[in-house]
Structure 1
């Protein structure tokens, strides 16, 4: 079952974000607190949204956390999928596909023309999964990130 995240899901979401960061070999970078997640998802002006995957017994087994982007070329919003995660014991059960299907359904329903995300180049199982759904890499683009001291220097 896929459902919209609720405030009471924050502890599970936080735990899974840390599990994902560990899987991606970057646990030390996962500094978000449960309070920050609560504010981002359920505060006065939500900046992000989340969906939860549950198994048949109501156990939380995965999530998709996303936010809106905007295409100046197409003139409409899209969804940027920040994180998609299914706990290892539940992988292969269709939860990842169900989460992506729900986001694609939202795009179609709302007239959004893109569903985008990033994947680590070494994550072959995820790449194969995404390509099996019809997703294609955007090889002509390179992601840039400004963070830490470089961000502070530019913003000063």
Structure 2
């Protein structure tokens, strides 16, 4: 079994992150676009707009990543993070990479004064749902999520 470690990503990781982000987008049935993935991740990093955590095996090969965005909860009057992207390469699944990324995200949020982490996942993504509930996350059965695509 491979040993998985996590760390905050840096600009030196941009190419690895871009490849992972492109694979993540393809998982959600979007066409491959490595240039778009690279630019998106680079923009988030340069603007300090998100936190990216990289999971690696013992050889330093990437296993997955998560990306979260700092925001606020008006009702709690406190900072929170939206954990928006979590992806583990197929060959690294069942090695604990997803769990390690989730725990690293939680630790980072706590260190930075957040009172909550939020995420959404597809209703069909049962492995992810199992991971989240196994780590103590509670599914919201009270609120509905809505979104509206805006014209460019």
Q: Which has the higher helix share?
A: 1
Q: Which residue of 2 aligns with 1:39?
A: 43
Matched residue count: 147
Partner of 2:106: 104
Larger Rg: 1
Match of 2:141 among 139, 142, 145: 139
Instruction: For structure 2, list consecutive stretches of 5 or more residues without a partner in the other structure.
Output: none
Deviation at 1:137, TM superposition (A): 1.0
Q: CA deviation at 1:35?
A: 2.3
Instruction: Name the residue aligned to 1:71.
Output: 73
1:5-154 pair list within 5 angstroms: 5-24=9-28, 26-28=29-31, 32-41=36-45, 43=46, 45-149=47-151
Report the TM-score when normalising by structure 2: 0.87
- Tell whether the 8 Å contact from 2:26 to 2:32 is kept in structure 1 after alignment: no
Q: Matched residues in 1 for 2:126 and 2:16: separation?
A: 26
Instruction: Specify which structure has the bigger relative contact order, considering alpha-carbon pairs within 8 angstroms and separated by 6 or more residues.
Output: 2
Consecutive aligned runs of 4 or more in structure 1 exceeding 6 Å deviation: none
Measured against aligned partners, the alpha-carbon deviations of 1:103-147 in whole angstroms (never above 9, x if no partner) come to 111222232111111100011111111111111111222222222
2: CA distance, partners of 1:28 / 1:141: 31
Q: Distance in 1 between matches of 2:32 and 2:148?
A: 15
> Which consecutive unaligned segments of at least 5 residues does structure 1 have?
none
Is the partner of 2:36 in helix, strand or coil?
coil
Give the CA RMSD over aligned residues: 1.9
TM-score normalised by length of structure 1 = 0.85
